[in-house]
Structure 1
Amino acid sequence: MQAFNVDKEKTLNAALLILNKLGKADYHRVFKILYFAEQQHLKNYGQPLTGDVYQAMPYGPVPSFLYDIFKASENQSSPFHEALELSKAFTVTRNEKIPYVTPNREPDIDELSESNIDAILTSIDENQQLSFREITDKSHDSAWAKAEKSSETEMSYLDIAESVETAPEMLRYILLNAENNNLRVS
């Protein structure tokens, strides 16, 4: 189960930052770049970047709330009012079967901390040139494999942190933070 609560404005602005740096990009690339930024933020600071719930899907982790926003933008409808409202920040078009997202505005940098921005920019630098197969394979880490094999596809933030060899004291910090906030981590 998820250990943190999604910060919807941070999720929106993280995606906008990624897309403003990449230009038009498919869902898959945005999701994976954000996932790798989440990993590094957990490893370095013991906190996720957005708190979004990642699902282990066949082509790698997918952030649930951001996916809802993109789908709302693509369909111009959603059962989730917040996703529909935030979807106005993006335009989604399809090239054959592949959905591409374009930002409609700049990110509100005040919604992102310096460490958030650094993690996102580092992830972009490390992953933007990877092919679809390379970025998929990279995202099929131990956290993805564990969730994919279980009956639930939701990925644990503790498992995500462990997948990038986070220091034991940082893992304890993540657990303690979750316990102090009465949140579950696995």
Structure 2
Amino acid sequence: MNIMSNDDVLTLKAAVLHILNKAGGTLDKYRIYKSLYFANKEHLNRYGRVITSDTFFALPLGPVPTKLADILEFVQRGKTLRKTDKDLFLPIITSIDHCGFDAENYFTANELPDMDELSGSDIECLNIGLDKCINQDFGTIKEESHDKAWQNAFSKPNHKSIDILDMVDESNPDMKEYVLDNMYCC
């Protein structure tokens, strides 16, 4: 179970709004999810931490941030959220809209991101994540997101959460050690 604090929610909100606004205000949820995944992975490999604290699950079409997926399903289809989750995620819920039936999986930003919630390195990596997805076709994004971390999680029989250590590139053993030493420190 992934427990998010109010600060975590505000960071996730800022990250999603940054991606949406940078993409022109509207983007499909597949590209939102994969942009966040690539951004978190990039930030982890460069700076030793992820941007958002949402847990990614390995689903057939690639990594999906579980809490954000629940939020977008609520906004899009009215999927049931526990009252505590609805209250916690209200800042995100009210900041985005589903584009409607003619754009089934597209969402639009209702506001600009609070850039004070994101560091310079967060923004840099969010832009990198979006750049990997914005003009790519579905198959290319799917192929790139089915990386070692996704494969390791997807091969598990029941629990499909992606291990943060698997997101660290093999060519970066010092970072893997750094992340391992620091992931439970705070």
Which whole-Å CA distance do the structure 2 matches of 1:82 and 1:131 have between them? Answer: 34
Aligned equivalent of 2:168: 161
CA-CA distance at 1:68 after TM superposition: 2.1
Structure 1: runs of 5+ lacking an equivalent: 182-186
Q: CA RMSD in A?
A: 2.1
Partner Cα separation in structure 1 for residue 18 and residue 111 of structure 2: 10
Q: Secondary structure at the match of 1:147?
A: helix
Structure 2: unaligned runs, 5 residues or longer: none
Q: Closer, same or farther in 2 for the Cα pair 1:10/1:137, shift >3 Å?
A: same
Name the aligned partner's letter for residue 135 of structure 2: Q
Residue 49 of structure 2 aligns with an amino acid whose one-letter code is: Q
Asked if 2 retains the 8 angstrom alpha-carbon contact of 1:38 and 1:48, the reply is: yes
* 1:117 counterpart = 2:118: no
Classify 1:166/1:118 alpha carbon distance in 2 versus 1 (closer, same or farther; 3 Å): farther
In the alignment, what sits opposite 2:54? Answer: 52
Aligned residue for 2:162, secondary structure, equals coil
The match for 1:149 is 155
Aligned residue in 2 for 1:8: 9
Q: Show CA shifts across 1:77-112 (max 9, x none).
A: 632222244201000134468321100000000000
Change (3 A) 1:24 1:98: same
Alpha-carbon distance in structure 1 between the residues aligned to 2:18 and 2:103: 25
Partner SS state of residue 180, structure 1: coil
Deviations 1:125-173 (A, max 9, x none): 23211101111111000100110010211001101123xx351111111
**TM-score, normalised via structure 1 length:** 0.87
* Separation in structure 2 between the aligned mates of residue 96 and residue 110 of structure 1, nearest angstrom: 34
Question: Partners of 1:179 and 1:78 in 2: how far apart?
Answer: 28
> Alpha carbons of 1:166 and 1:83: their partners in 2 closer, same or farther (altered >3 Å)?
farther
- Give the whole-Å Cα distance in 1 for the aligned partners of 2:35 and 2:93: 19
Q: Write the letter of the residue equivalent to 1:21.
A: K
Partner of 1:78: 81
Identity %: 34
2:18 alignment partner in structure 1:
17
Could you say which residue in structure 1 is the equivalent of 2:38?
A: 36
1 CA distance for matches of 2:38 and 2:144? 9
Q: Give the Cα–Cα distance (whole angstroms) in 1 for the partners of residues 151 and 4 of structure 2.
A: 23
How many equivalent pairs are there? 178
Question: Residue 101 of structure 1: SS of its match in structure 2?
Answer: strand
Q: Name which of structure 1's ranges 103-112 and 165-174 shifts more when overlaid on structure 2.
A: 165-174
| Structure 1 position 57, deviation (Å) | 0.7
Correspondent of 1:102 among 104, 108, 111: 108
